[in-house]
Structure 1
Amino acid sequence: MPALVLLGAQWGDEGKGKATDLLGGSVDYVVRYQGGNNAGHTVVVGDQKYALHLLPSGILSPGCTPVIGNGVVVDPSVLLSELSGLNERGVDTSKLLLSGNAHIITPYNVTVDKVTERFLGKRKIGTTGRGIGPTYADKINRVGIRVQDLYDESILTQKVEAALDVKNQILTKLYNRRAIAVDQVVEELLGYADKLAPYVADTVLVLNQALEEDKVVLFEGGQGTLLDIDHGTYPFVTSSNPTAGGACTGAGVGPTKISRVIGILKAYTTRVGAGPFPTELFDEDGEALRRIGGERGVTTGRDRRCGWFDAVIARYATRVNGLTDFFLTKLDVLTGWEQIPVCVAYEIDGKRVEELPYSQTDFHHAKPVYEMLPGWSEDISKAKSFADLPKNAQSYVKALEEMSGAPISAIGVGPGRDETIEINSFL
């Protein structure tokens, strides 16, 4: 039975929650392997809409065990609030597993994130201000707080003291902010220990044993390929690895265990926050995509920047992730355009470039080269098979598939769980 990675192939917000939820009833475990509550997944089940931030989308599928892996950074208050909200709506959350090696977002991480972004002014990156980056920085600097530390007050106190020795100097002398008391932070973090205890586990052992028993494990990335700290549009990226390799380090599973890598691809392109975006639209078409597609960030509440489909980015995502399949979402949003532009290459300094430039400077100067594809006006939301789509919609999907370098195995024609055309099974 397969281990699958499911990830965003653009700048995030591609519809990963819908895709994960679609597979959730057929898999035994769904694992978040990176990011924190800076990610946002929207899942629509019947007439119910669920906005998930830290929890894997599989938590909405009975019989599926949701797992928060060691590569995730966890804000305990957000996690407990999210669990409480789902419980109030009748969702069973008791099967959740939380890695004891996952790092904790502390109150001082959030403070540092917010004051640093304000200090940058016009140079700001566009973070969510939720402490994600500073927590990953603490992890790399080996002064981070892990979930398991909540169960040893002595170790927890020592680690908080070590972290605040430096951070209080920065807060008081550079940012003119008040110092943060060690005892106050320790007391707050210890207050989460008993509430989180039922979920804490050695998730690396659990997942590897599950795979040895031929269980199906789905690894779910947050954000998207172009926000990867190593392979994205640096520095306008997240602080972790949403690409496929991140699933191995963020969950403790070897690469030989993974059988398929599925990229989620929106039928157009969006991004939230600052950074280059070659196909971004500033006209009526961009506003129409935003309005029809409901393009507002699940986590940030910010309007998403919208643009036409970028095949250069799709090809890049195929390459760096080793994608075996695409799940194309929001095809229905494009209904009504007489012609639909698709970016097939860039023009940089008068030269045509068909692959993503490695140079930040070149990418900032990239201008899209468009190919016009015929649109359609028919309602496609009730389509159950590829043959049900209008001919022009079929041609659009086939063109994107050819340009992107991997087969499109499923198509989203609406927000609902059942509004999906499955062309090839992922399992």
Structure 2
Amino acid sequence: MANVAVVGAQWGDEGKGKIVDWLSVEADVVVRFQGGHNAGHTLVIDGATYKLALLPSGIVRPGKLSVVGNGVVVDPHFLVGEIERLREQGVEITPANFKIAENAPLILSLHRELDAHREEAAGGGAKIGTTKRGIGPAYEDKVGRRSIRLMDLAEPDTLDDKIARALAHHNPLRKGLGLPEIAPAMLREELLSVAPKVLPFMDAVWDLLDEQRRAGKRILFEGAQGVLLDVDHGTYPYVTSSNTVAASAASGSGLGPGAIGYVLGIAKAYTTRVGGGPFPTELHDAIGELIGDRGHEFGTNTGRRRRCGWFDAVLTRQAVKTSGINGIALTKLDILDGFDEIKICTHYMLDGKRVDRLPASQSAQARVTPVYESYPGWKETTSGARSWAELPAQAIKYVRRIEELIGAPVALLSTSPERDDTILVHNPFQD
């Protein structure tokens, strides 16, 4: 039985929540390993809708252990609110079924303020498209070795020194930006007020997961955002602040890379992204609008409308390579029902030359133009299909061509938000 890492193979919003929930039935442990509460997952289970941002998707399944790893930046006040909202929906969340890494960095109010100030002050072309939730500044503090981490809340006597170290950086920065300085006592109160509510969930996650692995438990690693938003391998600087590739499932949880047996990439049957940055196949016409409307392409947590375009095989193939993706879960095929013509981007042209990857250069990314293959659409519906036999022939041809172009097989095919509307080709846990 293989442990499975699930990553977005595009710019996020690919439908990871449903796929993780679908897989979590066979998993014993579900682990978030990077990102923060800028990641939105929507789960539809037995007619009930759950909207998650920080908690792992497995939390809604009884009998599963859900874990937030050290690679995640945690807003403790947001976390408490999310726990309370889910409890109101009847979800049980206790220290027995939910753990947070003791060394997880915390997102503070000063991070949120700095994030929002930078984005609002940036000129049009300089806007990154951040969610303004403090994720980037919190990661900056982590690598700057001035983070306040979850374990620090358990040692209030040592907190003043850590607060002083953080404010020695932030207060001069805030002063230069025209923001009021923060009093140490205010930050201390912010932290201590939430400490009793989050500390019961604290654990040495790396050790706990090693025990689970050695006991033969099946672990599902749940990524946030998408591979194309990776801070190293994405469309920099229009990226998130963490490594979203599958390799960070190991570093973000405290397990070695050998603990990951199968990497499942999630990709929509078309392409979307939120915020600024290059998007070679973006459609600025009625078709793009129609895809967005039919696909309900609005951010789970932000409500922002997503940009939409045709499937980009170049980018997904790149994601397959940088994350070592073994198989793809293709989602939202049903959104393409009824189109007369459907297109797939097979390669780009850059300054008159063919290129088969997205260049790392920001200026080159802005200059690439997509080259498409066109396919006849299908008039029949794929919504709710649960076997290949229920799919129109043209839809099957479309899926097969995607497999050829990206260099990875389709392991699962999702045909609606409902959990059971899934065609299983290969069970990742059986790899």
| TM-score of the two chains, using structure 1 as the length reference | 0.98
Task: Identify which range, 176-185 or 30-39, moves more after superposition.
Answer: 176-185
Partner of 2:417: 415
Matched position secondary structure for 1:185: helix
Q: For the residues of structure 2 that align with 1:294 and 1:183, how far apart are their CA atoms?
A: 44
Give unpaired runs (5+ residues) of structure 2. Answer: none
Partner of 1:133: 136
Partner of 1:286: 288
1:214 alignment partner, one of 213, 216, 221: 216
Number of equivalenced pairs: 426
Partner of 2:170: 167
Partner of 2:250: 248
Q: Structure 1 residue 185: deviation in Å?
A: 0.9
Q: Is the 8 A contact 1:25 1:63 kept in 2?
A: no
- Root mean square deviation, CA, Å: 0.9
Task: Identify which range, 379-388 or 335-344, moves more after superposition.
Answer: 379-388
Q: Structure 1 residue 263: deviation in Å?
A: 0.2
Partner of 1:332: 334
2:150 alignment partner, one of 147, 152, 174: 147
Give the residue type in structure 2 aligned to 1:63.
G
1:199-232 deviations in Å (ceiling 9; x for gaps): 1111100111111111100100000000000100
Q: Is the 8 A contact 1:42 1:51 kept in 2?
A: yes
Partner of 2:38: 38
Q: For the residues of structure 1 that align with 2:159 and 2:13, how far apart are their CA atoms?
A: 35
Instruction: Determine if the alignment matches structure 1 residue 52 to structure 2 residue 44.
Output: no
Q: Structure 1 residue 46: deviation in Å?
A: 2.1
Q: Structure 1 residue 359: deviation in Å?
A: 2.4
Partner of 1:8: 8
Give the residue type in structure 2 aligned to 1:297.
G
| TM-score of the two chains, using structure 2 as the length reference | 0.97
1:186 alignment partner, one of 185, 188, 191: 188
Trace 1:272-351 onto structure 2 (pairs within 5 A).
272-351=274-353
Q: For the residues of structure 2 that align with 1:404 and 1:384, how far apart are their CA atoms?
A: 23
Q: For the residues of structure 1 that align with 2:73 and 2:105, how far apart are their CA atoms?
A: 5
Q: For the residues of structure 1 that align with 2:292 and 2:201, how far apart are their CA atoms?
A: 38
Partner of 2:229: 227
Give unpaired runs (5+ residues) of structure 1. Answer: none
Give the residue type in structure 2 aligned to 1:97.
K
Q: For the residues of structure 2 that align with 1:245 and 1:33, how far apart are their CA atoms?
A: 10
Q: For the residues of structure 2 that align with 1:378 and 1:118, how far apart are their CA atoms?
A: 46
Task: Identify which range, 311-320 or 39-48, moves more after superposition.
Answer: 39-48
Q: Structure 1 residue 166: deviation in Å?
A: 2.2
Partner of 1:22: 22
Q: Structure 1 residue 256: deviation in Å?
A: 1.3
Q: For the residues of structure 2 that align with 1:412 and 1:116, how far apart are their CA atoms?
A: 38
Q: Structure 1 residue 356: deviation in Å?
A: 2.4
Q: Is the 8 A contact 1:2 1:216 kept in 2?
A: yes
Q: Structure 1 residue 358: deviation in Å?
A: 2.7
Identity across the alignment (%): 48
Q: Is the 8 A contact 2:295 2:335 kept in 1?
A: yes
1:292-335 deviations in Å (ceiling 9; x for gaps): 00000112210000000000011101100111110000000000
Give the residue type in structure 1 aligned to 2:42.
T
Partner of 1:239: 241
1:239-269 deviations in Å (ceiling 9; x for gaps): 0011011111100111112110000010000
Trace 1:58-73 onto structure 2 (pairs within 5 A).
58-73=58-73
Partner of 2:207: 205
Q: Structure 1 residue 387: deviation in Å?
A: 1.9
Q: Structure 1 residue 338: deviation in Å?
A: 1.0
Task: Identify which range, 354-363 or 339-348, moves more after superposition.
Answer: 354-363
Partner of 2:78: 78
Q: Structure 1 residue 425: deviation in Å?
A: 1.3
Matched position secondary structure for 1:263: strand
Q: Structure 1 residue 75: deviation in Å?
A: 0.5
Q: For the residues of structure 2 that align with 1:345 and 1:182, how far apart are their CA atoms?
A: 54
Matched position secondary structure for 2:123: helix
